[in-house]
Chains A and B, each alone.
Chain A
């Protein structure tokens, strides 16, 4: 638990990620310094020893991700944090975590890209990469942080989903969320729900490491607790051993996909503002959602029936919230600090006449309420 639970604090987004993670039971961090995510590593290095946890700075992000997976396999909740270039390096081992179903959380504090890009400017250019960055079909959950309090609560939620579904969870923050300081009321320990992975209860001889339960999620043994088993990034059978048998390969892929599909109603998260009677709406996430809220409030003052759907879950794409909104509104605006990475998802689920309008900034500047308002009144 975090010592700050239930108190009022002036915190930076990056610091709140650390406290949220500790509150959810995270006891291991491995990473590599990178702007604008470094404060996460720094604060973990200070706080983890006192709560019997471990911090280690590795030689690169590849190693950071490897160590996180190792720690999780040994039974400890673990995370890493990085920005675009480091997130690129993590993709291979991230795929391993998807394949071997190792719970872990990866915070990507987005900067402008591609390549070294704009290290100290905000962007949302890694959205599709967070979903599809590692090769091959794979399940993954991607959540967006929009504020300091989100950085606490959604980080804690990320650990819970990761543990429950045995899947890596990507947290997408951005430079604005990460470095903004806000006074926040942190939830008390009683208010924070902590989910732990289900461990096997059968005798070791009966343990089938990759046989899903009713939800499609296998109980997970830790290395060292008597359930000796094999973990591999090769496609494996229920025993965990490599297989070339096509029916086993297909069963493997389907179970991984279905465990997320089954949990979809719980995994898709959003917030709705003024949507009951909305004729036009903004669909936004991350720091842009906060600008959008102000724009929508201003529009309402001027008699426009506008609303906001703030996406917290980006993948699996929360079509359960987006599709009904598209049926309800004549137009939606999707402002993003990229060339349109979520607007293409909105297009994908659109089965109506609703007009989808993009508003994009890729100049390293934050999207202000004023510019969203200007677009909104044109819808």
Chain B
């Protein structure tokens, strides 16, 4: 980093060095101020009298007690302007794509939070074409929702796909501990889609120091606030992988001798994560920030402190699961949840959406019960058999992540499956909707009579 200015005082006496921090005596230093230690960016994390503790983002390897320390007199900042668009940056907001430096207003990252009474209720649907999301777990602008996925699942691919299909003005990618291969994947994917003109990336790769990751979400959110609040744009922020971010938090807190709470995570994990996720918002004058993140799990364990705290903060979660029956990755309809879906389902989408969604999942649940029954050696009823067949089709045509159709088409597909495998009274959908959507031409007269005599619609 090139921040040295002639008049700045240079300190050269470090009294303490750990793997992530160093301590020295200095005066007139502000809390959270940035500094340069032996050419490496650092930030003030503790002040005790004249003893200043700095976290050194690239790590302390080779730092000596006589290394040069310069304080910059300001917190970490990002220069914001339209120039950010289409560019790739590192965790400090410096270009890594050989392009020119950014000209723009300098904004401190991790700024103040939004006054809750000034927020608007999220209400605009984000269409992704993936039925596991649009049909069963509809996402809206201003929402924050992570993918919960095991490391071997194609979460980055799904996320890139979602981002490109979503109707957003800007897509901001915050990559934390991204492998070089994944970095190149995103870069190629965005370039080939011709979407570079709306993409901004802040990347910390696995070959970069882990502590640097701590800056990435704030950088991404600061850029997002610029476009969403000042330019009234619809911004989609992608954060991958938040588990690695939390790991970096744990490293620093450990080096600062803080007492760990559950799963060796710092006691402030909830607040730390909330500060990032709560940047998602619907602004009053049209702009919005939607955050889609990735939290990798350890063998699907959601009780670990990271997914657990995340679940309490975000508005739902999307689970990826490999369906071995159809050999594809699906969005698990049971464990996935979008808490804001009812704001748009049946209101911004077709009236039958909520009921069709529930019926589809309920019948899939019946199929899973039938499967358990079969595995336990019990006899299957004729209904069970039909459920199982339905489940295969449902999984293939609607849950699989390679589906790409409009919401109306998803609903029609679901009706088609209901019709194929069930009788109208078995799907448990309101009578008025059945009459309208249970396809007129295929309907036999007596079947209709049967429906009307059947009173048990909830």
Asked if A and B are interacting partners, one says no
Q: Which B residues are within 8 Å of any A CB, using their own CB?
A: none
Q: Which A residues are within 8 Å of any B CB, using their own CB?
A: none
